[in-house]
Chain A
Amino acid sequence: MSTEITTDVVVIGAGPCGLFAAFELGLLDLKCHFIDILDRPGGQCAELYPEKPIYDIPGFPVVTGQQLTDNLMAQIAPFAPEFHFNRMVNSIEKQEDGSFKLSTDADEVFHTKVVVIAAGGGSFQPKRPPVDGIEEFENKSVFYSVRKMDDFRGQDLVIVGGGDSALDWTLNLEPIVNSLTLVHRRPVFKAAPASVNKMHELVAEGKINFITGQIAKLDGENGQINHVHLTTDAGDLSVPATRLLPFFGLTMKLGPVADWGLELNDNTIKVDTEKFETSVPGIFAIGDINWYPGKLKLILSGFHEAALMAQAAKAIVSPGERVVFQYTTSSTKLQKKLGVA
């Protein structure tokens, strides 16, 4: 049975622009829920450059992607937005009363008066290894993440990759599989040294097999693999396998955003510059995903857009209510909301 959630605003995408929107919406007493396909907030800042310095955030001569995310999370904490990670928004439907119904791939339904699309460059999805015909096996015997460990019990598993995900799942799944082969293109790993050491111990004990090479081809039928072919320096090799877990990191794909019936400009959503509303009233788009003449894809721009969007969202959620413009420095009302007065 699906879970039903009712709220004022649903923000799609917990990147920096979506996160700041929760602050602006919170000041206006609007309650928001976030949905993101990633397992944590921060969007590109957290996924693509957590350690890299950003120099053009006003008031911060330098801040890393992760620090900015952490600061935004602290800033919006007083408004207690709710986060729904590891889910993709698949559809948005306008209801007769003007509200919206959103559905996710985790079988949840959100009823909301306002939708804010802060989907940035698109949803982060696993990189698919360049192997012909891999699509036919996906979600049947080839997986890009482990949702249920039991799917791997008693299987002949091949894991490909040299980062933390590959090593963590090698260690976690080894006790329950029939056989496990770890494949990485070189003997150097990016993963935590403790995991790498543990993996080497398991290889020495003969519990897992490690091969330096790359995956070339898959054999099988009806979605079920039976062999993984590898290219190695010593020549081609075929490993019997009933499950494959490739871990090559993530890449951004526009995904379902394109199917929501909004007016687009290339791969971005057209908005006005007064409210940052899309061609569908009640659906707003802020940050990298939107387009208007002169648009700059900068975090700074998304922050500005969030502030204007919030005013318009308030008018939809509480029609007729007069909103008095106030500064956080001088308004005790706003400071109470922030828990500082």
Chain B
Amino acid sequence: MIIHVTDQAGANHELEGLEGWRVMEVIRDWGLNIKAECGGALSCATCHVYVDKDWMDVVGAPSDEEEDMLDSVGDVRSNSRLSCQILCSDALDGLKVTLAATAAKD
């Protein structure tokens, strides 16, 4: 499966995702600018992405715990998600996301 990621500088990247991996792990593995400080434990919100409008329904809504975590970033939009909470699957082949400014490493 392929995921399309736009980084903070506006560059597009086509990344090969692995079934069962978290989208955060794919982005990190490919060396893009994602801090992902807690490694996917839903404790940091430094893996914040905006999901492309066309993909919102497929990806689904964040859990209550994820919503709580999103309180700790200042640039939340209606399509905000934490990429460590999105699991790669065939249904998400072609997924498009954009890295939020608050996901950047220092």
Contact = CB atoms under 8 A, between A and B. Distances in A.
Interface of A: 48-49, 52, 121, 127, 129-131, 160-163, 184-186, 188, 190, 214-215, 246, 248-249, 251-254
A166 B29 CA distance: 35
B106 interface: yes
Interface of B: 35, 37-38, 41, 43-46, 67-68, 70-76, 101-102, 106
Given A121-B37, A214-B76, A162 B44 contact: no
Contact of A248 (B37, B38, B68, B72): B72
A190 B75 CA distance: 18
Given A252-B37, A253-B106, A215 B74 contact: yes
A-B pairs, 6 with minimum CB distance: A129-B74, A249-B72, A48-B43, A130-B101, A130-B75, A248-B72
Given A52-B43, A185-B76, A253-B106, A162 B71 contact: yes
26 contacts: A48-B38, A48-B41, A48-B43, A49-B41, A52-B41, A121-B37, A127-B73, A127-B102, A130-B75, A131-B74, A160-B74, A161-B71, A162-B71, A163-B71, A184-B71, A185-B70, A188-B67, A190-B68, A190-B71, A214-B75, A246-B74, A248-B71, A248-B73, A251-B37, A251-B44, A252-B37
Chain A contact residues: over half helix, strand or loop, or mixed? loop
Contacts of B44: 48, 251
A129 B44 CA distance: 14
A49 B38 contact: yes
A184 B76 CA distance: 11
Nearest to A184: B71
Contacts of B37: 48, 121, 251-252
B43 A49 contact: yes
Contacts of A215: 74
A137 to B, nearest CB: 15
A127 B76 contact: no
A62 B5 CA distance: 37
A215 B76 CA distance: 11
Contacts of A184: 71
Given A186-B67, A190-B68, 14 more contacts: A49-B38, A49-B41, A49-B43, A127-B73, A127-B102, A129-B74, A162-B71, A163-B71, A184-B71, A186-B71, A214-B74, A249-B72, A251-B35, A253-B106
